[in-house]
């Protein structure tokens, strides 16, 4: 699957949105990912074609399966990613434990079902690729995350890719206005009095979880790059949602630079790990 196989272009294939905070527009995170497509996407894709960056430097490049490959979007929510993937010709099934999200995904014309990353209702090897863009944030217990990883490994075809998003526990240290940053960095947990606990990974732990489930050929990417937190801080300081082209382009250039420099992934709040289920058990 070209989109995931080429890792970051997975996000760069999304339709570009104009800059600016429109009413009803996607979150800053989603807007930023979409904006990444702007600029010179063909150059960016060429840059990634031979990309060996990642947790296992020197591993073979991921060979893509083109649309209409089948994708399971675990924790797909209302289908933010499933929509553009479906529009690109992929056959996508969204699974989410929140019924409201499943209804919203269906309202967008997507195939969607209630389900849990830790216990998927699908037979072994039934999808060309599995996305897990969110569930790991919500599983603070390591054994629960391990179940989610094992399930992703089980339902993807041998040779298929699993792409999972994780929050990076150190990125908040770049934010001058994040009182919980030190606690998150030290514990990997963000606890709220009235809300769920969120889990933040470190790079080594994220790779270890994927390997433990039997996945190989790992590559980890920082999606936001090092300037994203500065962008957010400046938005808060000025009260402006749109800081203009120059600030955005600076942040995007830094994010794209990060793609070829795996050491810099640690500066990104959102991480993407892409890994392959081997053809034979390891
Ligand atoms: C931050 S949202 C991300 C939604 C979407 N994947 C995206 O990238 O925009 C996290 C999603 O994970 C879902 N989730 C939480 N725990 C889960 C679990 N145990 N299994 C599957 N999904 C889960 C939530 O309901 C939510 O829709």
pLDDT in tens, 229-251: 888 888 888 888 777 778 888 88
Residues 6+ apart with CB under 8 A from 59: 52, 216, 217, 218, 219
Residue 54 has pLDDT above 70, yes or no: no
Residue nearest to ligand 1 atom 4, measured at CA = 77
The answer to whether residue 269 scores a pLDDT higher than 70 is yes
Residues 16-43 have a mean pLDDT of 50
Q: Which of 65, 6, 8, 59 is nearest to 216 (CA)?
A: 59
User: Which residue has a Cα nearest atom 16 of ligand 1?
Assistant: 135
| Ligand 1 centroid from CA 226, angstroms | 24
Query: Smallest Cα–Cα separation from 68: which of 128, 113, 139, 9?
Result: 128
Distance, CA of 141 to CA of 117 (rounded, Å): 13
Measured distance CA(43)–CA(39) in Å, rounded = 9
Mean pLDDT of 131-160: 97
The pLDDT score that the predictor gives to residue 167 is 96
Distance 97 CA to ligand 1 centre (A): 8
What atom of ligand 1 comes closest to residue 30's alpha carbon? 9
Q: What is the pLDDT of residues 88-134, one digit of tens each?
A: 899 999 999 999 999 999 999 999 999 999 999 999 999 999 999 99
**Chain mean pLDDT for the chain:** 81
Q: Which two tokens stand for residue 221?
A: 């990417």
- Mean pLDDT computed over 126-145: 97
> What is the pLDDT at residue 35?
63
Domains of the chain: 2-275 (3.40.50.150)
Q: What sections of the chain are H helices per DSSP?
A: 2-5, 9-12, 28-35, 41-49, 80-87, 99-107, 142-155, 181-187, 203-212, 228-238, 245-259
Identify which of 125, 126, 145, 127 has the alpha carbon closest to the alpha carbon of residue 135: 145
* Kind and range of the H or E run holding 71: strand 70-74
Assess whether the C-beta atom of 202 lies below 6 angstroms from ligand 1.
no
Largest CA distance in the chain: 54
């Amino acid at each position: 699957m070209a989109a995931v196989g080429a890792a970051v272009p997975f996000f760069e294939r999304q339709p570009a949105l104009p800059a600016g905070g429109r009413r009803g527009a996607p979150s800053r995170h989603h807007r930023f990912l979409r904006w990444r497509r702007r600029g010179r996407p063909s150059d960016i894709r060429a840059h990634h074609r031979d990309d060996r960056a990642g947790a296992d430097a020197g591993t073979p490049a991921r060979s893509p399966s083109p649309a209409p490959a089948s994708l399971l979007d675990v924790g797909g929510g209302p289908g933010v990613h499933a929509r553009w993937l479906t529009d690109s010709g992929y056959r996508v099934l969204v699974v989410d434990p929140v019924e409201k999200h499943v209804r919203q995904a269906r309202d967008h014309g997507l195939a969607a079902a209630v389900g849990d990353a830790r216990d998927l209702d699908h037979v072994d090897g039934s999808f060309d690729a599995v996305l897990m863009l969110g569930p790991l944030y919500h599983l603070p217990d390591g054994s629960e995350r391990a179940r989610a990883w094992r399930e992703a490994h089980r339902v993807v075809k041998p040779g298929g890719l699993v792409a999972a998003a994780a929050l990076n526990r150190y990125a908040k240290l770049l934010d001058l206005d994040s009182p919980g940053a030190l606690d998150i960095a030290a514990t990997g947990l963000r606890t709220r009095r009235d809300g769920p606990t969120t889990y933040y990974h470190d790079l080594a732990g994220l790779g270890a979880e994927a390997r433990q489930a039997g996945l190989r050929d790992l590559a980890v990417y920082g999606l936001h790059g090092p300037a994203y937190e500065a962008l957010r801080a400046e938005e808060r300081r000025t009260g402006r949602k749109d800081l203009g082209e120059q600030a955005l382009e600076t942040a995007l250039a830094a994010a794209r630079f990060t793609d070829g420099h795996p050491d810099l992934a640690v500066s990104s709040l959102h991480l993407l790990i892409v890994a392959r289920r081997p053809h034979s058990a390891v």
